Amino acid sequence: MILTTSTSIFYPAFAMFVLTMLCLLSLGIARLISVRTGKVKISFYRTYNKGEEPEYLHLLSRHVRNHFEIPPLFYIGVLFAYVTHSVSDTAIAFAWAFVITRLIHSAIHLTINNVTYRFLAFGLGLICLTGLWVTSFLTLL
Instruction: Note down pLDDT in tens along the chain; length 141 residues.
Output: 455 688 999 999 999 999 999 999 999 999 999 999 999 999 899 898 888 889 999 999 999 999 999 999 999 999 999 999 999 999 999 999 999 999 999 999 999 999 999 999 999 999 999 999 999 999 888
| CA–CA gap between residue 134 and residue 10 (Å, rounded) | 18
In the chain, what are the domain boundaries?
Answer: 8-140
Which option is the CATH number for 8-140: 1.20.120.550, 1.10.10.60, 1.20.140.10, 3.30.300.30?
1.20.120.550
- The confidence score (pLDDT) of residue 1 equals 45
Full-model pTM: 0.93
| CA–CA gap between residue 91 and residue 94 (Å, rounded) | 5
In order of 53, 71, 105, 111, 115, the CA distances from 43 in angstroms are: 11, 31, 31, 28, 32
- The confidence score (pLDDT) of residue 67 equals 96
